[in-house]
Structure 1
């Protein structure tokens, strides 16, 4: 969990008892890691799956968590095979709203003052410079030679910046999923922060991207769709390196 964000004890720790502390630990994991299965949570916290399920049921009853959409799985999770698919649990907007963002009020006040003193252009420039700093080490497509490679670098840079991002193949494209946003409360007032991200992704990827959802707008995850255009290898066959995970799109 980032240093500027803490759980509200009265909201997520249920008076500070052992159950409340475990519940807060579950929420903290979901903030930092994004959706997780009950088994993964139990392994990380060193408690029984049955115990985790009890806490998940309580958090669900309180409206703080929900089951991720059917078919969800994390890239590289290694889950699957026979049997009933595992459920992935994620924070709801209500659950995320119970987190204390210690510097939100200050950041909002600073941006409002910046706009009053220097105008809207100054806010736009600040938003651009902020995301540019986060992805400064990302290679644009012209350098990486692959949309997928650049997408993965963007996700890694966002994760390093506290956004808990991963990628997901969806049809003839790939999505960047940010499971946490350390500036969500500020971005709800200043959507310029989200707009600057989208513009930067477009610039790095050399293709128009579409923002499908944002945490700042009340969604459970920020999702950006990146189209992947299939090229040929010179012999008329699709080039696998231009497709998600090297797969040939047909």
Structure 2
């Protein structure tokens, strides 16, 4: 059960109209309607008020009762993961280091979502936006830029890549800065790596301990350069 289903179910159990619920919370009827249809979510400051009004726990609000009443979350100093869109909470769960955190990213490709991750992330599917991570990033294509305090393993990147670790990916439309070795396709700007740089064309300057590439349009700064051999009809 999702939060919108819980709100609607609890409202109907109390025999309340959307107008009555809106009046109780001091909001518009349209806001209540959007909550119940999933078009928008309650502001984070509204969540305790909703729980108090319906006399339910936060866990019940998000997940429903599943046939029985859920106890209040204990004050046990456990880590819990909360996902928000802006200031609106859309999910929360107890943290488990052995379990991957499912990111609730809408599948609609016409919307852009920037991800800020305080840690490492394994993301299934493409990302239509930018990624900022405090650890390692593993994902498919990224339409924007990628910044990571660890390594980056992904498909193509539509912007630049800055990583404190190594980088393994498809083509990079922007520049590249890596704290480790790099294996990727073409790079649309300058490329800098603390280790070896193995890639296709580099549209800017190249700096690395060892460079193995197809072509560098700018200057080269390294100990060893290997130019790959390609068929003449390749770009």
Alignment TM-score, normalising by the size of structure 2: 0.27
The answer to which structure, 1 or 2, has the higher relative contact order (CA under 8 A, 6+ apart) is 1
Q: Which has the higher strand share?
A: 2
Which structure: larger Rg? 2
Alignment TM-score, normalising by the size of structure 1: 0.26
